[in-house]
Chains A and B, each alone.
Chain A
Amino acid sequence: MKRTNDSRARNHAAYWAFLMHRVSGLALALFLPVHFWALGQAIKGTAALDGFLQFADQPLFKFAEWGLVVLLSLHMMCGVRLLLIEFRPWTGLRKNWITGAVGFSLATGMAFGLALIR
């Protein structure tokens, strides 16, 4: 066994960006089957879908929805940063984009939260 790195070696902005992108991506992937299941209720008719939508209209679901929006915006901005690194002939780790990604998803989260409480 060779020695491997621990969290001290990984504690820098670009690694945190990798983790944010990966974890948000996995969480969104886990949500997708639930999303399709919910949409699939429409096959059973309007009543089934409306029934589920009514059931989902409670604080816990709204909070989860807020989480989804934050994860989506975070995942998108981290992805844009990667695309810039991959496709533009720039050097560096685009740390400004990491800050931007966190700021953007925070702002999105706050905007969505405001829309929820109106």
Chain B
Amino acid sequence: MTKTLAVSVWRGKEEGGFVSYEVPRRDNQTVLDVITHIQRNVDHTLAYRFACRVGMCGSCAMTVNGKARWTCRTHVSQVAENGKLELAPLANLPIVKDLVTDMRDFFDKWARGLGQFKGSRTRKDEFEKVRPDSKARMAADAGIECIGCGVCYASCDVVSWRPDYLGPAALNRAWTLVNDQRDTQLVERMKAVAGDAGCHSCHTQGSCTERCPKQLAPTAGIAGLKRQLMTTPAGGK
């Protein structure tokens, strides 16, 4: 007889509940494999989101046994407790259906934190030389690998407490651009990330840094923005 997993999956929207499924346990099985099994073999109406399956796109993030994580890079053996799994959509985001969340708030906040690069050179100019060992380049490097999966945003209590808070991902993005010597929007960006809904709201609970699947440290970036605000006041020149 094959071993099985007892899987509770969130069904519905914000109003909804957990539904139990039995899924055969296989070797090297990921949590995404489990969800795919349910959708293909048990209930075709289950909605979930994934694309690359290898931890590059960041679209399969969900709440697994209470913690936000990528389902594609999470082996069942890492998270199952007594053969049980609980799968829910990411916290802090509106639910579209079942395990799918509406990520608009999350990405709109990247834009609000001025997450777009704006340089001064054109393609006709020389390349700007950025020293790889410069302090700013290394600080930008530390946060640049973010793929926007929303795990940090879903893990952050401050986002739950005040919904207008920009959140760790948007602030981490802002910090990488503050450290990009080619970017020309420093003062505007500092204005965008200062204030109650910006970096000063962070309580340094560290859930973003603890849960980031890329091992980035938004907490450090947010602290960096606060320090930057001492030298570049939001209303300054």
Known: A85-B220, A86-B223, A91-B220. A5 touches B209 (CB 8 A): no
Q: Nearest CB to that of B203 among chain A residues?
A: A18
Cα–Cα, bound, A59→B150 (Å): 52
Tell me whether A3 and B63 are in contact (CB under 8 A). yes
Interface flag for A2 (CB, 8 Å): yes
Residues of A within 8 A of B154 (CB): 5
Instruction: Tell whether, in the assembled complex, residue A9 and residue B66 are in contact, meaning their CB atoms are under 8 Å apart.
Output: yes
Closest residue of B by beta carbon distance from A5: B91
Q: Please count how many residues in chain A sit with their CB below 8 Å of the partner chain's CB atoms.
A: 25
Contact for A89 among B63, B139, B205, CB less than 8 A: B139
Query: Is there an interface contact between A92 and B209, defined as CB atoms closer than 8 Å?
Result: yes
Whether A10 is near chain B, meaning CB under 8 Å from some CB there, is yes
A4 nearest in chain B by CB position:
B160
Please tell me which stretch of B30-38, B92-100, B183-191 contacts chain A, meaning at least 4 of its Cβ atoms lie within 8 angstroms of it. B92-100
Partner of B209, one of A9, A14, A89: A14
- In the complex, whether A57 has a CB less than 8 A from a CB of chain B is no
Q: Do A14 and B227 form a contact, CB below 8 Å, given A1-B14, A4-B91, A9-B67?
A: no
A9, A14, A92 pick with most chain B CB within 10 angstroms: A9
User: Could you tell me the distance in whole angstroms from the C-beta of A72 to the nearest C-beta in chain B?
Assistant: 20
Q: Which of B66, B139, B154, B206 has the most CB of A within 10 A?
A: B206
Picked from B65, B205, B206, B220, the residue with its CB within 8 Å of the CB of A8 is B65
Report chain A residues within 8 Å CB of B88.
3
B45 CB-CB contact with A under 8 Å: no
Known: A6-B66, A14-B205, A18-B203. A85 touches B223 (CB 8 A): yes
Known: A8-B66, A86-B227, A89-B139. A2 touches B204 (CB 8 A): no
Rounded to whole angstroms, the CA-CA distance of A91 and B138 in the bound complex is: 12
A15 (CB) vs chain B CBs: closest residue: B205
Is residue B224 within 8 Å, beta carbon to beta carbon, of the partner chain? yes
**Residues of A with C-beta under 8 A to B220:** 85, 90-92
Interface size class of B (residues with CB under 8 A): 35 or more
Does B180 reach chain A (CB closer than 8 Å)?
Answer: no
- B207 on interface, CB distance cutoff 8 Å: yes
Measured CB to CB, the closest approach of chain A to B205, in angstroms, equals 5
Contact B224 A8, beta carbon cutoff 8 Å: no
- Known A15-B207, A18-B203, A86-B223; judge A2-B94 contact (CB<8 A): yes
> A5, A86, A90, A92 — which one has the most chain B CB atoms within 10 A of its CB?
A5
Question: Is A48 engaged at the interface, CB distance under 8 Å to the other chain?
Answer: no
Contact A82 B227 (CB under 8 A): no
| Docked complex: B91-123 residues within 8 A CB-CB of A | 91-95
User: B206 near A93 (CB under 8 angstroms)?
Assistant: yes
**Which B residues are within 8 Å of any A CB, using their own CB?**
10, 14, 63, 65-68, 88-95, 135, 139, 142, 154-155, 157, 160, 203-207, 209-211, 217, 219-220, 223-224, 226-227
